[in-house]
Amino acid sequence: MTIKPYVRWYAPNVRIWTVKLMGLNHNNLIPKCTQNHSDPAILYSMGGYIGNIYHSFSDLLFPLYAVSFGYQRDIHFLATDFVLWFQSKFHEIIDSFTRHPVVDIDTEKGQVHCYPKIVAGLKHPNLVLDHTASEYEETPGASMINFKNLLGDLYSLRRKKAMDHRSIPRLIIISRKRTRVLTNQDEISQVAGELGFVVVSADPDMFTVPQFAKLVNSCDVMMGIHGAALTNMVFLPDNAALIQILPFGEMDHIGRSCYGDPTAGMNIRYLEYKITMEESSLSGQYSVDDPVLKDPKSIHKKGWEMIRSIYLENQNITVDLGRFKNILVQAKKLLQD
277 domain-assigned: yes
Query: Do 97 and 179 fall into the same domain?
Result: no
Query: Do 182 and 104 fall into the same domain?
Result: no
Residue ranges of the alpha helices (H) in the chain? Answer: 53-55, 62-68, 84-89, 91-95, 144-154, 185-194, 209-217, 252-255, 262-266, 291-294, 296-300, 304-307, 321-336
| Number of domains present in the structure of the chain | 2
Q: Give the CATH number of the domain where residue 314 resides.
A: 3.40.50
67 domain-assigned: yes
165 domain-assigned: no
148 domain-assigned: no
pLDDT (tens digit per residue) in 153-199: 999 999 999 998 888 999 999 999 999 999 999 999 999 999 999 99
Query: Do 126 and 177 fall into the same domain?
Result: no
Q: Averaged over 81-101, what is the pLDDT? A: 96
- What percent of the chain has a predicted confidence (pLDDT) above 90? 86
Res 24: pLDDT: 65
Least confident interval from 128-137, 186-195, 319-328: 128-137
DSSP 129: -
Q: Averaged over 107-134, what is the pLDDT? A: 83
The answer, yes or no, to whether residue 129 has pLDDT greater than 60, is yes
Query: Do 285 and 238 fall into the same domain?
Result: yes
Query: Do 180 and 301 fall into the same domain?
Result: yes
137 domain-assigned: yes
pLDDT (tens digit per residue) in 198-246: 999 999 999 999 999 999 999 999 999 999 999 999 999 999 999 999 9
Query: Do 205 and 286 fall into the same domain?
Result: yes
The answer, yes or no, to whether residue 27 has pLDDT greater than 90, is no
The answer, yes or no, to whether residue 57 has pLDDT greater than 60, is yes
Res 301: pLDDT: 96
28 domain-assigned: yes
181 domain-assigned: yes
The answer, yes or no, to whether residue 134 has pLDDT greater than 50, is no
pLDDT (tens digit per residue) in 277-288: 999 999 999 999
- What percent of the chain has a predicted confidence (pLDDT) above 70? 95
Query: Do 218 and 320 fall into the same domain?
Result: yes
Instruction: Decide: helix, strand or coil at residue 18.
Output: strand
Band (37; pLDDT cuts 50, 70, 90): very high
When the pLDDT of each residue in the chain is averaged and rounded to a whole number, the result is 93
259 φ/ψ angles, rounded to the nearest 5 degrees: -130, -25
- DSSP secondary structure string, 237-268? PBT-EEEEEEPTTT-HHHHIIIIITHHHHHT-
Residue 254: domain span: 170-336
Q: Averaged over 306-332, what is the pLDDT? A: 97
Q: Averaged over 42-64, what is the pLDDT? A: 95
Beta carbons within 10 angstroms of residue 108's beta carbon: 13
Band (133; pLDDT cuts 50, 70, 90): very low
